[in-house]
Chain A
Amino acid sequence: MKKIFASLFVVIAITKASAQETIYPAPAQNATIALTHATIHIGNGEVLNDGMIVFSNGKIIDVRPTANIADIKVFDCSGKHIYPGLISPVTNLGLNEISAVRSTVDDRELGDINPNIHAAIAYNTDSKVIDILRANGVLLANVIPDGGIISGTSSVMQLDAWNWEDALYKKDAGIHFRLPYLVRYSAEEDALKEGMKQIEEVRQFFRDAKAYFGESKHEHTNIKFEAVKGLFDRTQIFYAHCELVKEMMVAVEFANEFGFKTVIVGGTDSWKIADYLKQNNISVILNQVYSLPAMQDDDYDLPYKTPYLLQQAGVLYCISDADQSTRFRNLPFDAGTAVGFGLTKEQALQAVTLNTAKILGIDNSTGSLEKGKDANIVVSDGDLLDMKTSNVAYAFIQGRQINLDNKQKQLFEKYKYKYNLK
């Protein structure tokens, strides 16, 4: 009992002691921690009631029904729910601070084919958005450059670090291909023809790259080609940003020609060709659930139930929240909304944890609460996916108990003080 009080005290102390600029990244985990008596949502669909999770040196060493263990720090999580840290798969986090203020935007470069642009090196660990996401249970984010046709290289970042180097979770993990629309916006412009021309340029780029890697010795080192090397040995992921069937078919065809490990990002109409995507081993990062249907005629709830449609079809998919007004903070509720439209709660959770990890290629180390994985853990007072109960009590990244304070909470405190509110 003593230990529990001690640990609670520590948490509160951290919350109270810091202003925004003094919300420090946590030091490395130095003692084994057990979270006990919780409902543990593993992330793979399983739920463990009155469970216990133990982690040490940043890694999960045990997940099982709560039992007595001696001499370790224990957080009694009675009544609480434990989840894997959520992963936001499509963000410009740390690259775009205030989209309306140009000087704060670092998420796109000039030119059409820029695979050699690396998002990670511009990632600003002091972005005010990061703390907000952590407080909602998002502990990892895929940080993606925008612009052009081949936008650049993304990295997965963990959200508690002093600088981008320390924040790297998976460096240069993927290349981003933004397909042009292949439907017409006006009768005058033949979008298909124009789009296919652009796509052909990209295809040529990759064919040239392939030939380049076949050279025994390079007369000139081509840094654009060098940047996509990992696509050919499948250590990098080929992210094809597209929405409609034709564009997705082009993406699949690219995957087939070059053997790239391919993920569709967006996938508004992916449900229409779910079987085809499944056959070709293409996974999908869906647009945020909170979206309008693409067309007048579409079911009003189509974006809400697209996760369910892919789930039924057996396609590997995950849910994103790329919202630029709420800045990705509603990822758990996007997943929760999909529960109202077909998914089970555990499936929805999986769509923002383990599925995401699989798609981003980081499921060896995160995405579920399983032995051997990083201790990326969220503890919530209630159901994390339901906004009326979602309240993150503790969170751990690689075993480090992170500070859940943020500027918004601090302003809340400041004005509670002003108005003498409780």
Chain B
Amino acid sequence: MLFLCMLMLTLLHAQETFPVNGVADERSGSYAFTNATIVKDAQTTIQNATLVISHGKIVAVGANVAVPKDAAVIDCKGKYIYPSFIDLFSDYGITPPKAGNGNFRSYQNISDTKGAYGWNEALKPETDASRIFASDAGKAKDLRSIGFGTVLTHQQDGIARGTGAVVTLGDSRENFEMIKEKAAAFYSFDRGSSSQSYPNSLMGMIALLRQTYLDAQWYKNKPATEGTNLSLQAWNDNQALPQIFDAADKWNVLRALKIANEYGVKYIVKGGGNEYQRMAEMKATKASFILPLNFPLAVDVEDPNEARVVALSVMKNWELAPYEPAMFEKEGINFALTASGLKNTDDFTANLQKAISDGLSAAKALEALTRTPATLAGIYDKVGSIETGKLANFLISSGPIFDEKTVVYQNWVQGTRYTISDNGWNDYRGNYKLTLKQGGQTKEYNVEVKGSPNKLAANIQATGDSVKNDIKLSVSDRMVKMNWSGKADSSKLNSLNGIISDKTWMGNGYSANGDVINWNMQYVSAFVEKPDTAKKADAAKEVTGKINYPFVSYGWTEAPKQEDLLIKNTTVWTNEKDGNLENTDVLLKNGKIASIGKNLSAGNAKVIDGTGKHLTAGIIDEHSHIAATGGINECSQSVTAEVRIADVIDPDDINIYRQLAGGVTSSHILHGSCNTIGGQTQLIKLRWGASAEDMKFANWDPFIKFALGENVKRSYNNQNNRFPDSRMGVEQVLVDAFQRAKDYQAMGPNKRKDLELETLSEILNGKRFITCHSYVQSEINMLMHVGDSMGFKVNTFTHILEGYKVADKMKARNIAASTFSDWYTYKSEVQDAIAYNAAIMQKVGLIVAVNSDDAEMARHLNKEAAKSIKYGGVPESEALKMCTLNPATMLHVADRVGSIKVGKDADLVLWSDNPLSTYAKPEKTIVDGVVYFDIVKDAAMHQQIAAERNRLIQKMIAAKKDGAKTTPATVTFDVQNECEIDHHEKNSIWD
């Protein structure tokens, strides 16, 4: 009941349809705020101005505005008025949904959502935040206290999250707080509460979004085969709104915007706070951003053995993340700020101030919290500045809003005052005369009230005395408490209590001896503020590290450049007819091999002495899982031809650098082997530091990963309920997939475009090539038969540890083989794996490669190739081809890489020794004429990394000493992908 009464008191306008319990109490809510410094927007500040509001709206603002008679006047002398902040990325007032009960081991094919909705539970475009919004007084108060007045709130659940509503943060009925029901549609790369199996990977989510754009377009004609699909309907309806994508990571920003570009939509992207690590790419997107201020906490690294497990990249991120807003400003990128992601809402203000001290201008900060978000959400006509006609949403503060010392007193929402702090609203500082009346005696004192308006201090001095005593003074809501003691007896206090009435303070109290006192205190003169000398010297500019590319150890601060190089007097393993050339020079120009011969002239090229060393083509790994993020398997369906590794290339994977150090220059990044048709693969060059797009091997024939056997029938799981469960079923999955693709092709135009079937059609049309994970001869034979009957060809069998048993059949179909050198007996289907496999297949005449699957093994594929000498007597020249020319051939790129031949790409490795020797190691690894690994530079980097780690550890320890919050040191993990998920390779102690 009490609560209701309070509500009614604060209501400006009664809702006409609602009955009143009592008598009507309508008020106009007219106020005039006078003598204020009014910051209308980031560009416009008016001094000594007046703001008039009425009925929750701004009716006038300016320097020469007359105060209306019907307005209550609030004197804002010395105070500042700002538009209150707007957050575009909020879940205020929205209850999060319950998490689904799905799990990886139990297969759920379609959505559990009841009703006429779409097939995928992670797509909820029909969610309408306005229908589930309910004010939350506690949360509203938290947000108001950090300056927000308006939020765009949505249910943060699923990949398509439906629409968000704009609400103000007052305590009146939702009917009044909600100012726009649908302001934007939201998306993310997070499946949220969905218990459905698909999609379980980032690449699956991207495929799902792409397919849904197509489906929604198709649904516009209301195809009978679909019936009513409220999800697709909502998806289409939502397209008219601003589209906001929660990317939450720098690379995901690019991934999201790539989808947007493909389907002609525009996303406003919410970042994750690490976008500063790739500013050039961010700028190039031309997108608008929503940036979080949830900067990482310092890690508690006082214990050196705990510091040991924290990667430099984590420490650097702690140091540099607060610079992100400033860097966006510098680059001229449009952005709004959000309080989203803060564990503790109160940290918002401190973090914002940190961003400002790290270079963000106060004007831009204000813009990013007011006009920019308002404009992006299409609500600038209502909020975002102090202008006539807009909502009376504003802040009153003691000074410039982002100054550390500034106190925000009030946050007005739609014309209703919410007090954040009274403390200092009235500036009581000044020199006073205090008169005490005690038992008929009158004593006079001088009292100096000083300090800051919200943190008063005072002292007292008897008239004519030289001794000053400090007063403990507190003022709350005009009520005053003062106590002090004379020097003589500090245990006894004089205590006064009273009230302030303009310039007169008065009240009663007790003397130190317990005598009753009456007192009054009269204002005499103004307080004179002394300049602040204690301010920290700005001159001691903070030292920060540089951004390196990629943002992990061994990343470049300055990228190595393509150089013309002459490698002199070395043993050249050409992989061509010439075989090995002794004492030979190789000239690299413009990223290509320009000439090979003796005593070549260097010209302008840099000379590298290759005496006693060996030069080979760069290693090519036919089967790799590095440099991919968000899950290597889309495990949720047996056929996921639509998912693409290209969408999830991760340039930050340290294994790229480690493998360059092992001589690898190109890697074929594959899906795992969780399902029969895994998806579209990607060939990359290990251009360490480049973006995902720039790592891709240009103009290559696209491939697709298939898999057979134990992994796809999920033998590791005793309760498999996903078809297939046997090799017999695997065959039918394939037959069915290709039959559907054929039927699809026959359907002609105007069909629903299906990304899965489009991809399978490419295979049938000879435009996409298969590499198939396989082990036992029966399944290898099977796939060849399915191919024969369906009219497609298998390009490569990969792993293929029983390839030696059917090498003749593969030879007849000209199928290549990419195998492990010597893995065996780690699961049932490799019991007949033999280390002689590569040799037999090579002797039968197949193109044979050795592959890694494994981030460690890829560091020495030369040695894996050398094992074919030991096991089966393959000649050295042919053995080397198994990790260079042969994988290039089976990947259709042998015209550019794989051998040392004039005109080919300058992808080369200079070895310390015969590259097939166990003792050999790369000294230089070159891609496109760029030296990406240099053993000498690497040693220097070790020193730099150690020094940089030490600097940051010291800085974190100092921050902790200064009172910064910290988080415990935790192991920084690097994900190691492998397709053999049913056994665990002990490659890293963290596995």
Contacts and interface: CB of A to CB of B under 8 A. Distances in A.
Interface string B606-647: 000000000000000000000000000000000000000000
Contact of B822 (A128, A291, A326): A326
Contacts of A185: 970-971
Given A98-B831, A408-B835, A339 B553 contact: no
Contacts of A100: 710, 715-716, 826-828, 982-983
Given A297-B553, A419-B843, A99 B826 contact: yes
A290 to B, nearest CB: 6
Nearest to A390: B870
B988 interface: yes
A152 B318 CA distance: 44
Interface string A324-347: 111101100100110111000000
A388 B821 CA distance: 13
Given A187-B968, A301-B661, A411-B836, A129 B918 contact: no
Interface string B800-811: 000011011000
A67 interface: no
A415 B801 CA distance: 13
A325 B854 CA distance: 11
A412 B840 contact: yes
A294 B824 contact: no
Contacts of A325: 820, 823, 826, 854, 980, 983, 985
Contacts of B472: none
A295 to B, nearest CB: 6
B912 A340 contact: yes
A161 interface: no
A341 B971 contact: no
A300 B808 CA distance: 41
B470 to A, nearest CB: 44
Chain A interface mostly:
loop
B925 to A, nearest CB: 11
A323 B938 contact: no
A243 interface: yes
A245 B305 CA distance: 7
A386 B971 contact: no
Interface in B750-800: none
Nearest to A333: B918
Contact of B840 (A245, A291, A421): A421
A418 to B, nearest CB: 8
Nearest to B941: A299
A3 interface: no
Interface residues of A, number: 65
B825 interface: yes
B976 interface: yes
A268 interface: yes
Interface in B7-24: none
B870 A327 contact: no
B938 A336 contact: no
Given A296-B553, A296-B974, A388-B917, A326 B840 contact: no
Given A292-B658, A294-B990, A324 B983 contact: yes
Contacts of B916: 387-388
A315 B276 CA distance: 46
Contact of A388 (B311, B835, B876): B876
B837 to A, nearest CB: 9
B392 interface: no
B351 interface: no
Given A322-B986, A336-B918, A101 B828 contact: yes
A327 B824 contact: yes
A266 B834 CA distance: 29
Interface in B669-718: 710, 715-716
B839 to A, nearest CB: 8
Contact of A421 (B716, B843, B857, B949): B843
B967 A187 contact: yes
B710 A266 contact: no
A268 B827 contact: no
A1 B472 CA distance: 112
A288 B552 CA distance: 26
A241 to B, nearest CB: 11
A99 B658 contact: no
Interface string A376-391: 0000000001111111
B807 A297 contact: no
Nearest to B844: A419
Given A187-B968, A412-B836, A415-B804, A295 B311 contact: yes
Contact of A300 (B807, B870, B938, B983): B938
A411 B805 CA distance: 9
Contact of B918 (A128, A288, A340): A340
B479 interface: no
A242 to B, nearest CB: 10
Most chain B beta carbons < 10 A, residue from A132, A246, A325: A325
A184 interface: yes
Contacts of A323: 985-986
A30 interface: no
B900 interface: no
Most chain B beta carbons < 10 A, residue from A185, A322, A336, A412: A412
A126 to B, nearest CB: 13
B828 A183 contact: no
Contacts of B967: 187
A380 to B, nearest CB: 11
B654 A296 contact: yes
A190 B967 CA distance: 12
Contacts of A409: 836
A78 B457 CA distance: 98
Nearest to B807: A419
Interface in B960-991: 967-972, 974, 976, 980, 982-990
Contacts of A290: 856-857, 860
A289 to B, nearest CB: 10
Nearest to B933: A300
A291 B987 CA distance: 5
Given A297-B949, A421-B843, A387 B870 contact: yes
Interface string B840-857: 100110000000001111
B872 A412 contact: yes
Given A98-B827, A411-B832, A292 B866 contact: no
B972 A327 contact: no
Interface string A191-234: 00000000000000000000000000000000000000000000
B552 A187 contact: no
A127 to B, nearest CB: 9
A411 B311 contact: no
A183 B969 contact: yes
Contact of A186 (B824, B866, B970, B976): B970
B330 interface: no
Contact of B805 (A245, A297, A415): A415
Interface string B701-737: 0000000001000011000000000000000000000
12 contacts: A98-B825, A183-B971, A184-B971, A291-B988, A295-B308, A295-B311, A300-B554, A324-B983, A340-B912, A340-B918, A408-B836, A415-B805
Given A183-B306, A244-B309, A244-B989, 10 more contacts: A98-B826, A98-B827, A99-B826, A287-B989, A297-B553, A300-B938, A325-B820, A341-B921, A391-B870, A408-B824
Interface of A: 97-101, 128-129, 132, 183-187, 190, 243-246, 266, 268-269, 287-288, 290-297, 299-301, 322-327, 329-330, 333, 336-337, 339-341, 385-391, 407-409, 411-412, 415-416, 418-419, 421
Top 8 A-B pairs, shortest CB-CB distance: A336-B918, A100-B827, A412-B836, A408-B834, A297-B553, A296-B311, A300-B661, A184-B970
Interface of B: 305-306, 308-309, 311-313, 552-554, 654-655, 657-658, 661, 710, 715-716, 804-805, 807-808, 820, 822-828, 831-832, 834-836, 839-840, 843-844, 854-857, 859-860, 863, 866-867, 869-872, 876, 879, 912-914, 916-921, 938, 942, 945, 949, 967-972, 974, 976, 980, 982-990
